[in-house]
């Protein structure tokens, strides 16, 4: 049968477990009749999929965990490999639940089947899109236009982040666990696209003056050609091996415009095994 999660710390442990196998997490409510149907389905599947780990999270007891995982309805089952979500099923549809297990087991990585194709994200082979580890509530942007805030770069739609009083931006990005950051991906309108960028790993509370004078972890010059070819920039990987937070200083843009804009920002790399979901309060019932 599926194991009930009894603490927020156990969420960290199951993410670590997903580095070596498929982990299925059932987010349920004690007042939800379809959730009881899923209980029966998982009881059956645990004996069929012996290499898959099944867990249950009470959304009433662990509301912050549910919010971090963007649970909007119960039952919702999320499937994790390599510390990232690879699939999701809402409702008590047994076929959908089983199909998602099978798809997740054959989707690459080291879990479940014991072999699989190499992961790839935005054309970067061997690494995954780890943007889902960004803690949006703990991330911020200095000099943003409040009508076009930082959160827009993570939506994947036509919305965008835009600077306010001038072209410069300072983005403070917080991750919910340490990551090995291999590349970043930027999409932006070419007339307002960032050009000179400084990256600071694990340096918090940097303002504009600090960003201009503090030695960076890496400096990047974006070009029109880079944006047109997908906007992916490989980093000096050895310098980004244990990144809990990243500060991004945008100094100017391609057209020297007074406004800088970014439509999408993504991070490509690998979750470090010693995950630390610091954004989830280390509480018990009622948190």
Question: Please, are residues 12 and 282 in contact by the beta-carbon 8 Å criterion?
Answer: no
Q: What is the pLDDT of residue 209?
A: 95
Closest CA to 231 of 86, 148, 119, 124: 124
Residue 178, token pair as written in the block: 């340490």
Nearest to 279 by CA among 248, 245, 241, 240: 245
Q: Residue 249 in contact with residue 198, Cβ under 8 Å?
A: yes
Known catalytic residues are: 32, 35
pLDDT score recorded for residue 120: 55
pTM above 0.85, yes or no: no
Q: How far is CA 282 from the centre of its chain?
A: 20
Pairing of strands 232-234, 169-187: antiparallel
* Contact predicate 242/206, CB 8 Å: no
Cα gap 197→11, rounded to integer Å: 35
pLDDT value, residue 107: 63
pLDDT along the chain (287 residues), means of 10: 88 84 94 93 92 94 87 91 87 90 68 38 78 91 97 90 97 92 95 98 94 96 94 94 96 96 93 45 37
Rounded to an integer, what distance in angstroms lies between the CA atom of residue 186 and that of residue 41?
A: 42
Q: For residues 141 and 134, give the distance between their C-alpha atoms in angstroms, rounded to a whole number.
A: 14
* Residue 70, token pair as written in the block: 């963007």
User: Which residues make Cβ contacts (< 8 Å) with residue 228, sequence separation at least 6?
Assistant: none
Q: What is the pLDDT of residue 276?
A: 36
């Amino acid at each position: 049968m599926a194991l009930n999660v009894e603490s927020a710390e156990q969420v960290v442990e199951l993410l670590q477990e997903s580095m070596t196998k498929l982990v299925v997490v059932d987010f349920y409510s004690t007042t939800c009749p379809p959730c009881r149907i899923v209980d029966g389905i998982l009881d059956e599947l645990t004996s069929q999929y012996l290499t898959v780990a099944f867990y249950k999270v009470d959304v009433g007891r662990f509301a912050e965990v549910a919010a971090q995982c963007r649970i909007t309805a119960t039952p919702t089952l999320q499937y994790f490999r390599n510390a990232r979500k690879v699939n999701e099923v809402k409702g008590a549809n047994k076929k959908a639940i089983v199909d998602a297990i099978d798809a997740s087991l054959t989707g690459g990585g080291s879990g479940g089947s014991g072999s699989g194709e190499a992961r790839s994200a935005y054309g970067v082979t061997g690494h995954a899109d780890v943007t889902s580890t960004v803690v949006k509530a703990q991330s911020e942007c200095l000099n943003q236009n409040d009508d076009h805030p930082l959160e827009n770069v993570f939506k994947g739609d036509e919305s965008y982040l835009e600077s306010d009083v001038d072209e410069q931006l300072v983005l403070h990005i917080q991750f919910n666990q340490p990551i090995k950051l291999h590349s970043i991906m930027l999409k932006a309108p070419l007339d307002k696209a960032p050009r000179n960028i400084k990256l600071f790993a694990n340096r918090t509370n940097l303002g504009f003056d600090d960003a201009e004078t503090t030695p960076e972890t890496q400096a990047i010059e974006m070009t029109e050609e880079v944006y047109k070819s997908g906007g992916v920039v490989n980093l000096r990987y050895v310098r980004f091996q244990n990144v809990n937070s990243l500060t991004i200083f945008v100094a100017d843009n391609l057209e020297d415009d007074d406004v800088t804009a970014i439509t999408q920002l993504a991070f490509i790399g690998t979750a470090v095994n010693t995950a630390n979901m610091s954004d989830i309060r280390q509480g018990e019932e009622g948190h």
